[in-house]
Amino acid sequence: MSILLQVGLLIGAVIIGGLIVDILSSYDQKNIIKILLAFSGGFLLAIAFVHFLPELYHEHSEKIGIYVLLGFLIQLFLEYFSGGIEHGHVHHHNKHKFPWVLFTSLSVHSLIEGIPLTSPAEMQHLGHDHGSGLSLLMGILFHQIPVAIALMTLLKQAEYTKLKSWSILLVFGVMTPLGLILGYLSQGNIDFINMEYLLAVVIGMLLHISTTIIFETSENHKFNLIKLTSILVGVVLALFLN
């Protein structure tokens, strides 16, 4: 898949999230966030265990666990500032004041996870097949939509103009493509970015997000049928891509 197509898909996912906030009611938005988060949580967890961890441990079994753990802790640190917006949380209620620390944390997360999204040829060079590269892209796309919905909701609560809201959302939308381009430019320069270890960091971050999403999609410690089905569909799709 070409770099331009990946960039278009990544930005398109954020735009879809923004349009959902503009078009649908807040009740419908919350339901869509819950379903998409449950689906993306199942998908992200499955691709981590089925696609990436076996490949990473096969290539770098001695050190790779350190980087996976590092990614998990990095995400934990980022969510201290983001307030869990990666899980669809929207807690901001102050009008005319947007939480820029939250936005910065979310942007850093998006930038990091985009770096391993290199071209298929680079994924093969690193020991990953085309299916793994596609599954990582799909996982990020599925997760970007509910995150964009939550972010756009915050922008509306801050009572920004539509132009300003969309401008901020699109700035967020280019963070992952920017990481993708950075990863592409680093190909062949292993001293600049060790892609295998960085991929392990991203997988650690996704493990934190996916497990938190799955546990938080319960109500009174029980899954309702739609949420449980969404998680299972995400897992099955990830297995299908193996």
List the domain boundaries for the chain.
3-240
DSSP, residue by residue, 22-55:
HHS-HHHHHHHHHHHHHHHHHHHHHHIIIIIHHH
CA angle 67, 72, 77 (to 5 degrees): 120
Q: Could you give the maximum distance between any two Cα atoms of the chain, in Å?
A: 52
pLDDT by residue, tens only, the chain of 242 residues: 788 899 999 999 999 999 999 998 877 888 888 889 899 999 999 999 998 898 888 876 678 899 999 999 999 999 888 877 877 666 655 666 778 888 999 999 999 999 888 744 445 444 445 455 688 899 999 999 999 998 998 888 888 889 999 999 999 999 999 999 988 887 655 555 577 888 899 999 999 999 988 887 555 555 678 888 999 999 999 988 76
Pair of tokens at residue 37: 């988060």
Q: Is the pTM of this model over 0.75?
A: yes
Q: Are 207 and 113 contacting, i.e. CB atoms less than 8 angstroms apart?
A: no
Non-local CB neighbours of 219 within 8 Å, separated by 6+ positions: none
